[in-house]
Amino acid sequence: MKLPRSLLVLAVLAVPVRLVAYWLAGLPFGPFADAMCQYDCGWYLRIGFSGYGADAEFANYGSLPHWAFFPLFPLLLRLTFALLHTTSELASQEVAGMVASNLLYLGFILTALAYARRTRPALDQRVLLLVLLLSPYGYFFSAVYTEGLFNLLLLAAVMMLAERRMLACAALTALLCATRPTGVLMLLPIGLECLHHLWQGRTRPDRVALLGETLLPLAIAPLGLSLFMAAQYIAVGDGMAFSHAQILWDRHWVGPITMLVHGITQLDWANLLDPKAPPSQSYDAAWAILGLLLAGFLAWRRRFVEAWLLAAGILLPASTALHSLPRFVATSPFVLLTLAQAIARVRVPRIRLAIFIVLGLLHLATLGLWFIGANSAY
């Protein structure tokens, strides 16, 4: 899907400009790369540069906690580092990580614009671009986190699915499954599309060709996860180590409904005011519920694949913990597209400007919390 040249130029310029704004905002918080590298950033860097076998420096569990983190992003960090020919100092690793993340973020923006042109042709793409740049928690795309890679692959896979290019969709899903555990959610739409293909071709005489066309995407799509499981089985004897290691972060199966009800009834909103307080469970649950309502709206608009990916992408992590849900919801491409559509419907320029100012202020507020390492920023 071809994009207008002016929009392409704007998008390409916007990412570094946003990064410069971050640098200016981060001046009081010490070296910029250090201020941007919070929480999981250190895990990804250590896995990328020292490998899964390195000591995780997490109690006396050796290298085991590393297996909770999926391999594609750390691999890309290492590749970017090699391409940049930087030194092996940690600061340079952080810079290489940020270069990788921001290139992936640019790829995500361009894919989102192309996807919107295909699925929402009436949407003003300048509005979407501003939403992609200004949304709260949007700094995760520029930090050493999987947001850019995962959402780029997710949108590209959904776009290929919509165009019935099943092998390309399956290959992208294989990469998605090697990025985050929720990559497997794409397997359901692929499976249903393959079944639909099989049903449509039920009268075809070439049964072997039909079966091959149906089964090959199904075989390719989960490969990223399967290869990661094989690597874990060889290295630590447990192919499900990525799941079992979650207990080290105190994550147990509770169930999404119980978890959301428990979270929203905690009424611990005051925790938001104290950066060092535990994360507010009510706040995290509120984001999850907002995301589920948007998923319901998408289903009502018959965007079933988007609705499934958004809803299941919330319910699955919410079955064990509420932490991270504001990030998952706020950076979801389907939430951002819906938000852009809602803003584009506002016809009064002043109100639209006011909405963007509020979005920008929320973005800055969450970025400030990130810089000081506040629990609610994660």
Partner 1 sequence: MHLSARTRLILACAVLAAQAIILALSLFAPRVSPEYRAFFIEHTATVWHGDGG
Residues that bind partner 1 (CB under 8 A): 40, 43-44, 68-70, 73, 146, 179-182, 206, 208-209, 211-213, 215-216, 218-220, 222-223, 226, 229-230, 232-233, 236-241, 243-247, 249, 251-253, 313, 316-317, 319-321, 324, 327-328
Of 99 and 245, which CB lies nearer to partner 1 in the complex structure? 245
Least Å from the CB of residue 50 to partner 1: 16
> Minimum Å distance from CB 140 to partner 1?
10
Place of tokens 């085991």: 64
Q: Which two tokens stand for residue 110?
A: 């361009």
- Distance, in Å, from the CA atom of 339 to the CA atom of 359, rounded to the nearest integer, reads 11
Q: Which is nearer to partner 1, 90 or 227 (CB)?
A: 227
Alpha helices in 237-280 (DSSP H): 241-244, 256-264
Angle ∠(175,179,184) on CA atoms, nearest 5: 75
Residue number, 50 or 243, with CB nearest to partner 1: 243
- Beta carbon nearer to partner 1, 24 or 208: 208
CB of 299 to partner 1, least distance (A): 20
Tell me whether residue 26 or residue 291 sits nearer to partner 1 (CB atom). Answer: 291
Question: Residue 233 Cβ, how far from partner 1 at the closest point, in Å?
Answer: 6
Q: What backbone phi and psi angles, to 5 degrees, belong to 145?
A: -135, 165
- Toward partner 1, which CB reaches closer, 136 or 183? 183
Q: Which is nearer to partner 1, 70 or 283 (CB)?
A: 70
User: Where are the alpha helices (H) located in 301-323, listed in sequence order?
Assistant: 304-318
Measured CA to CA, the distance from residue 327 to residue 81 in angstroms comes to 26
Query: What is the C-alpha separation between 337 and 68, in angstroms, rounded?
Result: 30
Q: How far is the CB of 3 from partner 1 (least distance, A)?
A: 29
Q: Closer to partner 1 by CB, 206 or 274: give it.
A: 206
Q: How far is the CB of 111 from partner 1 (least distance, A)?
A: 20
- The residue written with tokens 């449509």 in the block is 200
Q: How far is the CB of 124 from partner 1 (least distance, A)?
A: 31
Q: Where are the beta strands (DSSP E) in the chain?
A: none
- The least distance separating partner 1 from the CB of residue 28, rounded to whole angstroms, comes to 28
The least distance separating partner 1 from the CB of residue 181, rounded to whole angstroms, comes to 5
- Return the number of the residue (26 or 183) whose C-beta is nearest partner 1: 183
Tracing tokens 């704004």 back to the chain, one arrives at: 21
Instruction: Report, in Å, the least distance between residue 69 CB and partner 1.
Output: 4
**Nearest-angstrom CA–CA distance, 65 and 61:** 7
Are the C-beta atoms of residues 49 and 78 closer than 8 Å to each other? yes
Give the separation between CA 279 and CA 378, rounded to whole angstroms: 9
What string of DSSP letters covers 72-138? HHHHHHHHHHHHHT--S-HHHHHHHHHHHHHHHHHHHHHHHHHHHHHH-TTS-HHHHHHHHHHSTTG
Burial class (CB in 10 A: 0-12, 13-18, 19+), 104: buried
State the Cα–Cα distance between residues 207 and 309, nearest whole angstrom: 32
Which lies closer to partner 1 via its Cβ, residue 25 or residue 210? 210
φ/ψ region of 51 (left if φ > 0, alpha if ψ in -120 to 50, else beta) reads left
